[in-house]
């Protein structure tokens, strides 16, 4: 900000003008951003671009990845600049739009990729996955319903919880029809996390967990799952099964990570990666590239950076001015934490295969768009919090 105080004005006057100018600068959006969060996100994105290039060795993937990053940055910036408290008025439209997208996937507009009818092709090699944006819609929708505490009440009413369950049931049902069990798991993690932080009675949380266990048992014994989904669970239980299918995929992922040792084989020098032994390595199994070529140190750094993102998200949630902002930030943290754990877990063999990308690292436009919008929500809450 340029001072208009004349040079011949008294020193005290010029000093006050300088202090006022700096105070105004501190109120600018750039000053109030959580730069630690942004630094961790940008480091993950940069590492992801390099790993995608190493996994594919094709310039087309790298170019589309850079384009996706640019679009994601623009989306995240727009979301961050909007006062999150003003989002309440737009939550119904966001939720409705996400449901329309999920319905469109089930229409002739949808396309099947890797066994899941979850995509809409846009042409030019670009696709969009509406279930990614349903995660954002569910978070803001739940925050709106649970964030409006009535006078004298510290916990949500049972009617509020029922409204939230009804809100979540629609996208959950539509995603199940695709079927995309990975996204269903993320939506359930968001649902449980936000309900717990909202102060909902424990019986709701316990009941939902028991319902999920019973539902999983019934799904497994009533032959509701598709053949490829059953093969994924079999590969998780017994990685040596499946021949060249998902068992092979799990085995090769472990071999790639194990080959990296402490320091890795060197960037672009991984034999498993260069030989394309791990299917879908630029998306679902991007962590195996880091494990093989960057070793335990490089892969551990990705985990550490993800931890920084989650830590800053929790800090933003704790310092939010109101319950609406706290629940939104909590929902984002639950989403990123569970999806990161699931992706890394399936790469090292402690979680079943689900096809979930590693946030900020894996190749894919829809995932990158949605996660940057989530970071925009965190920044919006942070810039208007009492502790920023």
What tens digit of pLDDT does each residue of 41-64 get? 999 999 999 999 999 988 888 889
Cα 293 to chain center, whole Å? 25
In the chain, the DSSP E strands lie at 110-113, 116-123, 126-128
Higher pLDDT, 318 or 349: 318
Distance CA 54, CA 65 (A): 13
Tell me the pLDDT band of 244, cut-offs 50, 70 and 90: very low
Higher pLDDT, 227 or 215: 215
pLDDT at 24: 42
Distance CA 350, CA 181 (A): 17
- 172-186, 228-242, 249-263, 295-309, range with the lowest pLDDT: 228-242
Q: Is residue 132, in this structure, part of any structural domain at all?
A: yes
- Residue 45 · residue 360 · CB < 8 Å: yes
Taking residues 212-221, report their average pLDDT: 73
Query: Is a pLDDT exceeding 50 seen at residue 383?
Result: yes
Distance CA 303, CA 72 (A): 22
Q: Is residue 120, in this structure, part of any structural domain at all?
A: yes
pLDDT at 188: 94
- Structure tokens of 30? 């750039």
Distance CA 255, CA 312 (A): 33
Tell me the pLDDT band of 298, cut-offs 50, 70 and 90: very high
Distance CA 67, CA 351 (A): 31
Q: Is residue 6, in this structure, part of any structural domain at all?
A: no
Q: Is residue 17, in this structure, part of any structural domain at all?
A: no
Q: Is residue 57, in this structure, part of any structural domain at all?
A: yes
Query: Is a pLDDT exceeding 80 seen at residue 4?
Result: no
pLDDT at 281: 86
Cis amide linkage into residue 179, ω under 30° from 0: yes
- Residue 197 · residue 314 · CB < 8 Å: no
Tell me the pLDDT band of 208, cut-offs 50, 70 and 90: confident
Q: Is residue 234, in this structure, part of any structural domain at all?
A: yes
Query: Is a pLDDT exceeding 80 seen at residue 117?
Result: no
Strand partners, 120: 110, 128
The parent domain of residue 157 ranges over: 34-383
Cα distances from 96 to residues 93, 136, 177, 384, in angstroms, run: 5, 12, 18, 27
Q: Is residue 141, in this structure, part of any structural domain at all?
A: yes
B/e letters for 137-161, b = 16+ CB within 10 Å, e = fewer, are bbbbbbbbbbbebeeeeeebeeebb
For the entire predicted model, the pTM comes to 0.86
**Residue 280, class by beta-carbon neighbours within 10 Å (0-12 exposed, 13-18 middle, 19+ buried)?**
middle
Q: Is residue 360, in this structure, part of any structural domain at all?
A: yes
* Overall domain count for the chain: 1
Distance CA 282, CA 59 (A): 13
Question: In 3D, which of 223, 225, 228, 227 has the Cα closest to residue 249?
Answer: 228
- Residue 34 · residue 375 · CB < 8 Å: no
Taking residues 124-152, report their average pLDDT: 84
Question: In 3D, which of 10, 88, 114 has the Cα closest to residue 322?
Answer: 88
Question: Any idea how long the chain is?
Answer: 388
């Amino acid at each position: 900000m340029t001072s208009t105080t004349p040079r011949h004005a008294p020193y005290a006057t010029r000093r006050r003008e300088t202090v006022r100018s700096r105070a105004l600068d501190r109120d600018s959006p750039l000053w109030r951003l959580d730069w630690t969060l942004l630094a961790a996100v940008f480091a993950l994105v940069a590492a992801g671009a390099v790993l995608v290039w190493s996994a594919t060795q094709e310039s087309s993937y790298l170019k589309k990845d850079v384009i996706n990053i640019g679009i994601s940055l623009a989306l995240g910036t727009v979301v961050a600049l909007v006062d999150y408290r003003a989002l309440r008025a737009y939550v119904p439209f966001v939720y409705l739009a996400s449901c329309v997208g999920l319905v469109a996937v089930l229409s002739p507009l949808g396309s099947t990729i890797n066994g899941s009818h979850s995509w809409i092709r846009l042409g030019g090699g670009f696709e969009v996955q509406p279930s990614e944006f349903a995660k954002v819609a569910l978070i803001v929708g739940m925050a709106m319903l649970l964030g409006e505490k009535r006078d004298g009440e510290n916990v949500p009413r049972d009617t509020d919880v029922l409204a939230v369950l009804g809100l979540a049931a629609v996208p959950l049902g539509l995603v199940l029809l695709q079927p995309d069990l990975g996204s269903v798991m993320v939506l359930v993690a968001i649902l449980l996390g936000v309900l717990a932080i909202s102060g909902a009675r424990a019986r709701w949380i316990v009941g939902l967990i028991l319902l999920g266990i019973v539902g999983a048992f019934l799904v497994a014994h009533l032959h509701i799952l598709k053949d490829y989904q059953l093969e994924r669970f079999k590969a998780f239980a017994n990685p040596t099964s499946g021949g060249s299918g998902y068992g092979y995929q799990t085995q090769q992922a472990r071999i790639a990570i194990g080959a990296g040792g402490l320091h890795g084989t060197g960037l672009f020098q991984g034999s498993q990666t260069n030989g394309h032994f791990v299917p879908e390595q630029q998306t679902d199994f991007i962590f195996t590239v880091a494990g093989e070529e960057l070793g335990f140190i490089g892969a551990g750094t990705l985990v550490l950076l993800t931890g920084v993102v989650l830590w800053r998200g929790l800090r933003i949630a704790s310092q939010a001015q109101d319950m609406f902002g706290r629940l939104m930030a909590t929902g984002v943290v639950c989403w990123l934490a569970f999806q990161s754990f699931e992706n890394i877990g399936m790469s090292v063999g402690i979680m079943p295969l689900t096809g979930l990308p590693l946030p900020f690292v894996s190749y894919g436009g829809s995932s990158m768009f949605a996660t940057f919008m989530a970071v925009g929500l965190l920044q919006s809450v942070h810039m208007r919090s009492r502790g920023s």
